Structure formats: structure tokens, C-alpha cells
Amino acid sequence: MDRIEAAKEHFGKLIEEQFARIEKMKEEKDFIDFDTLDKVIIGVVGGDGIGPFITAQAQRVLEFLLEDEIKAEKVELRTIDGLTIENRAAQNKAIPDDVLEELKKCHIILKGPTTTPRAGDPWPNIESANVAMRKELDLFANVRPVKVPEQGIDWMFYRENTEGAYALGSKGIHVNDDLAVDFTVTTKEGSHRIIKSAFEYAKKSGKNKVTVITKANVVKTTDGKFLDVAKEIAKDYPGVEWDDWYIDIMTAKLIDEKRRTDFKVMVLPNLYGDILTDEAAEFQGGVGTAGSANIGKRYSMFEAIHGSAPRMVSEGRGNYADPSSIIRAAVMLLEHMGKQDKADALAKALDICGLTEKKLVVTGRTDGASSEEYADYIMETLKNL
């Protein structure tokens, strides 16, 4: 077939898929209410590399904090195997079907890092398991807090998680050897739900300030749409101050000590959110210290935002990996479940262990504490709070 015709046909299919997505979003129900459930099922997914080592420790800490609920069969922690790069490569799927089926039986997922194959790797070029899970479970809000109290930094990022350059990131086309085209998608429904979540959070938390970040002066259609939706939503929140910034200057302003403390809640499309949250996490000690929540109406998933560090495992240091980031994700998990007291206690224990007391330090090498020793330290600290 003629190359242009083939490209047109491909494009047509993508539009049809997006229309179907929009219809689903229109039918979406409200957020799940955990109080109405007999039992909350938390699926624990180890992932690759250091993932199983650190996730096991986060699971121990959760089991410790939720002991009563687990005994009363109000909460179940369930291990879900098979989301490993070996199994995904063998099945040539970002998430193997049987794993996805198990994930869908849970309400909440705690996930270790998974390997994302890229060109030149020994693995087939399958889609990232993260990106696939966000899409499959419709986890549209990627919520990432960054705090550096002594510098007055208290940021909350609402990154759109299912659209933008990521929606069709694995569906671009090589029209011919010279021409490669990718697609980026913004929908009214998809923008609405993430921007509204950010405004709601700004209102409820009393932060009362939202910054909308785009590049709408250049990426006029999709980012323009995102900004237009934001303008409409802002009208419903007269008590929440808002402004809009372009991503380039925003990246600069985060390192401007005089201005950066003005930002409170930031909402932005997927790819900009990916980049800006890594920059932001660096102020707090790097991506290894940050947790991330992926929230949808039905499902939610909590993860560390660092990678799987395969070299640590091949060098036999897997059990010396720092579990702090995934345990930070567990704090957000508890908050999402409505267990605010336990979440606060765990956050406090993490601060004592990692920032103030530092009786044990994880270095990633055998001269530091092991992941298990560090989790024990956190639980001891919790007992003494």
C-alpha cells in the first residue's frame, strides 16, 4: 500500500481508539469509597532488580501498621508475581494477561520499579509496564509531593498520567525511512479530571493556589486545550488563586530561591510532569527519596519513582537497596485508604530515621544498613512514637 495511505489508516485507527476512550471517561463513576468495601485488597508487585527487595520491606511495614485490620480481614495484602522483565519479554506484553487479571482483582497496588526496555537492550521493545498499568487501570492522576521544610518548599504536583505524548508513545509511525511521526493527545475529559483534582486538593488542603503549566504558546492545539479547560475550571474555585506558566521558564523558576516558594500545587500534562517532578525531587535528595501515587476512580497504584538498579542486584547488593522511597509511597497509600493517622506516623518515622536521628544509614553497599535492618529501624521508631 502507498505509504501515505498506510499512515492515514493508522491515524484513523488512533482517532477511533481515542473516541472510545472518551466515551469510557464520560461513563466514569465517582472515586471508590473504601468505607463501603468489606475488604480492601492491596496487591504487592515486586517488579525488577532491587524492586522485590525494597517492596518486601514496605510490605512488612504495612503489615505492621495494618495488623488489626488484617486480623479482622478488613485488609488483605496479596503478592502478585509475574511482572518481571523476563516474563514480560517471554510473553511480549507490557503486562501479561494473567498478571493484569490479578491486578484488577485488587483495589490498591504497591509496585516496585520495573525495567523499561529501550532500543539496544536485549529485551523486545515492549511498552513500559508503568505506562501500561496507568493506562489499563486508568490511573489518571500522578500525584507527587516534594517537601524541603527548611527551605520553605512544599510542592504538590498533579501530573496527567494517561494522555499527552505518553498516550500514543508506543504507537508512532515510521512513515518511511526518513520520516517518523509521534502523536500527542489531549482530551477535554482527560484534562478536566486532572485539573479538577488539583483544584480540589488546593481547596481541601488550604494551599489555595494552583499553577497550570503548559507550552501553549507553541504547542497550541493540545496544550492550548489543556489551558482552556483550566480556565473554565478555575471559575468554579473563586477561593483558589491560580496562574499559568510555560514549562521552560517553570523549570528555571524551580531553582530560583526567591520565587520557588510561591508555588504550591502544580498541574501539568504528562511529559512535562515527568521531567519537572524529577527536577523537583532533586531538591529533596533525589528521585530515590520520592514516592508517587497514581490515582484513578476505581484503582490506585503507589510506587517509588527511581529505577530498578539491576547493577546492584548483579553485584549481589540487592538487599542493601534503600527502601525509603517505596515506604514513602506506602505513606501515600495509607492516606489514600483514609488511614491518615497511620500515614502521619509513618511519615514521621521516616523523617526521624532518614533526616534527624539517622541511627542507621543505607548506603547501597555492605558498609551501610541492609534494607531489612532499615525497615526494622523504622518499625522500632514507630513503636516509640
* Site residues for Mg ion per CB under 5 A: 274
> Candidates 23-31, 125-133, 212-220, 257-265 — which segment interacts with ligand IPM by CB under 6 A?
125-133
Q: Is 66 in the site for ligand IPM (CB under 6 A)?
A: no
- Give dist(CA 341, CA 352) in Å, integer: 17
**Nearer CB in complex with ligand IPM: 116/324:** 116
Query: Which residues are CB-contacts of 115 (< 8 A; sequence separation ≥ 6)?
Result: 48, 49, 85, 123, 307, 308, 310
**Nearer CB in complex with ligand IPM: 233/305:** 305
**Could you tell me how far CA 331 lies from the centroid of its own chain?**
13
**Nearer CB in complex with ligand IPM: 295/305:** 305
Count of residues engaged in binding ligand IPM, rule: CB under 6 A: 6
Query: Which residues are CB-contacts of 228 (< 8 A; sequence separation ≥ 6)?
Result: none
130 binds, options Mg ion, ligand IPM, none, Cβ within 5 to 8 A by partner type: ligand IPM
DSSP code at position 8: H
- Our CA angle for 268, 270, 273, nearest 5°, is 55
Q: Is 305 in the site for ligand IPM (CB under 6 A)?
A: yes
Q: Which three cell numbers stand for residue 259?
A: 520565587
128 binds, options ligand IPM, Mg ion, none, Cβ within 5 to 8 A by partner type: ligand IPM
Q: Which three cell numbers stand for residue 26?
A: 464520560
**Nearer CB in complex with ligand IPM: 1/119:** 119
- Give dist(CA 51, CA 85) in Å, integer: 12
Q: Is 136 in the site for ligand IPM (CB under 6 A)?
A: no
Beta bridge partners of 158: 143, 267
CB of 128 to ligand IPM, least distance (A): 4
Task: Choose, by CB under 6 A, the member of 128, 170, 208, 251 that binds ligand IPM.
Answer: 128
Q: Is 133 in the site for ligand IPM (CB under 6 A)?
A: no
Do 84 and 119 form a contact (C-beta atoms < 8 A)? no
3-state secondary structure of 224: helix
25 binds, options ligand IPM, Mg ion, none, Cβ within 5 to 8 A by partner type: none
> Candidates 39-47, 57-65, 123-131, 237-245 — which segment interacts with ligand IPM by CB under 6 A?
123-131
Do 271 and 110 form a contact (C-beta atoms < 8 A)? no
Torsion, Cα 202 207 209 214, to 10 degrees, reads -60
CB of 109 to Mg ion, least distance (A): 18
Do 292 and 143 form a contact (C-beta atoms < 8 A)? yes
**Nearer CB in complex with Mg ion: 274/282:** 274
CB of 352 to ligand IPM, least distance (A): 27
Task: Choose, by CB under 6 A, the member of 59, 84, 130, 191 that binds ligand IPM.
Answer: 130
Q: Is 274 in the site for ligand IPM (CB under 6 A)?
A: yes
- Give dist(CA 385, CA 26) in Å, integer: 46
> Candidates 70-78, 124-132, 189-197, 341-349 — which segment interacts with ligand IPM by CB under 6 A?
124-132
First to last CA, the chain: 69
Q: Is 170 in the site for ligand IPM (CB under 6 A)?
A: no
266 binds, options ligand IPM, Mg ion, none, Cβ within 5 to 8 A by partner type: none
CB of 356 to ligand IPM, least distance (A): 28
Nearest Cα residue to 301 out of 135, 101, 61: 135
CB of 287 to ligand IPM, least distance (A): 8
**CA–CA distance from 151 to each of 35, 89, 255, 262 (Å)?**
38, 44, 12, 12
Beta bridge partners of 174: 180
Q: Is 116 in the site for ligand IPM (CB under 6 A)?
A: yes
212 binds, options Mg ion, ligand IPM, none, Cβ within 5 to 8 A by partner type: none
> Candidates 128-136, 192-200, 309-317, 363-371 — which segment interacts with ligand IPM by CB under 6 A?
128-136
Nearest Cα residue to 381 out of 146, 49, 65: 65
Interface contacts to ligand IPM, rule CB under 6 A: 116, 128, 130-131, 274, 305
